[in-house]
A and B are shown apart, each in its own frame.
Chain A
């Protein structure tokens, strides 16, 4: 097993990985851009290396700079967190090529899942249900219109190499396709360096539910239950919970089985997540995509299983026996109360527009069943260069109503002054009848904002 690990990330996830790695006795190395020198994760690592200016392309996405930092500090392993280089097969190969341990799945698995059209085709071959969609990437509007005629509207337009909701939109007719396609292609090229577009049948009133999987060294794939991520704005997740209130046991079993098949089909190792769209009325689902890394919302799975997923990632990468098997249980569905994650973003709570700034006051809520994974503290500067995630406020309860009650108290007790935050939105969400009853779908936030 390696004895040191470099965390190629920033903010809350760098801090969270460093915490577990240090607990395991590993020497930790942080990397940081000039904008992040004062953040807690830089201080909490055993060593910290500056890797460039604020712009991500010149620091956190600069593979040479990250690898040079690993060399300089003698780090033996690289944990990529999520985002940045986490789903770059090229980076994973370069880490391995430098003789270091990559804390993640094999590069080939990252590659086969990284392109959405290819991933869907692979999944369909493996017997995992997929929604109707294009079997080739589309790059011209004429081809998009033809494909749309055959598939039928509404359709989701997505960058094949995309992520984070960027460049995604729903189109309902030919006019919508004409205007959305060009924008999607431009963004796909700009953000992901690949103009290819996937058109996929859009399921209205669906829920977004994902299954946590773990690929073991002997090729077996285990599942650790699901997370419901239907509370979204701009196709980005804002709140998650487990278990999902829209998935009945019979559907859960089918989804878990499909997620395991999906992992096996690509020779998956380490932690991954299979995202699905669920029709809660029909109790049916289709595969959306697979994320070949640690997920932002992994803490809620940790809260209901008692497993430290980052520890398991590090143990798996180091070739050590893992303790995950017993917890996964025979059915692949762990049971242990209910957990909720609220993403605290630096954004105004009505229009969800970014709000960078200096944090003047920061007081985290505490108490039984409350966990806060934060990237910032009082005095930190939240810059415009990175995503708006300030902290993940998670609560656990013996049942859903206890988790919700704890979340309401925790939201009220969380003090952040400086940047505007979406804490008032979370207070609203936790009081919304559809959320409270558990009968919501991915349209919930839009509906909350449509009725003033």
Chain B
């Protein structure tokens, strides 16, 4: 009995170490922030304005995304057309799309000299401005409309087909179907979808950095960056980091009260339901219009990135290529850290039946990258030049941000493998590395490949904590792209955007595909 309690397994040790590392990173940085925050000075008018703007843009982004997602999801749920599956798969792409690439694409479509405004001017209308609240919300909707659509579409697909058949045989009109079948489903799905988008937008940094227009459109994360990089006021940065952390935790707690929908990236949206009541020509036209609109909204900016980027890609300055190599290195390190952490925690959680371990690993989602970054900055700055640690810190924070998704993919797969083959492996005396090589890795190839691909793509495209740390000559590719835009070298910026897009997608495809091939 005693030996059973005190037996330290390798999984226990690794899991314990991984969890301690995460706790230290999050709690340690929060302590550093707490110690440094200037509580007495309190928040100034511009800080309150940043808090208001953060809440306002998150609410608006979530509302608009969800409102457009409902009809789009309904159209997708009841229409079949060529490439339907491709379109739905593509709707998962914004998740791994670098923010700076999306910004470039959106500027090309919605900017002053973009497609939309050129058309407006040509027709004789006033052009619309993309800066400030408009731009921030637009970019967030671009990222989250597809996410919300997929979440809501899942709700539709979960309504059993028999009910629609029954509705048809009872002669239900579209209104009846909506009232009796669709609305109850929406009532249970929408709050979760809204909160997911709200949470994502709450910690948005790069969008506000590029699309915000001055003090009126500053998020808390952006204010933290400004406090460090423009005013070098660490006490203010720490105070703002506390506010951001408080908001993140409150929103996450709120979200937990609702059943959050699973953001299943690969879940089977295989075929639409046959819907007898929706065969009317008017509804068909509306749905077709919605699907075309949704596809254009997603594809047009990305096509513009490719079109605008191609001419300059061969003449990219050396510093962009070097930045790309730096980003690749960061992404690889982030993948290694994420896999090590996620495997250790999953093994600990499954073998020792400690579900809380998985929950702890999800902590990263409440702490924002810039909050952790501020904490690390405050810890490192008195001892060493933070610029020297820019890349290490970026990889570490990227890994931490990818960890919740990694756990979500790995935990169920590992517990499945253990449930099916665990006793057999025990019987064969497979432990440690042998168990990992012969039982886990073959069973986990797909989720591991997916996790690695996701982490690599997220890390490759991340523009967040690196802005706090980077020295002038130590940029990652997204930061270099931002600097090119700041220096108004738009052709180089467009080409760098295409390079970034290509690298992120290739990394995801290589890792994820590698997992599929030999599975």
B and A form one assembly: no
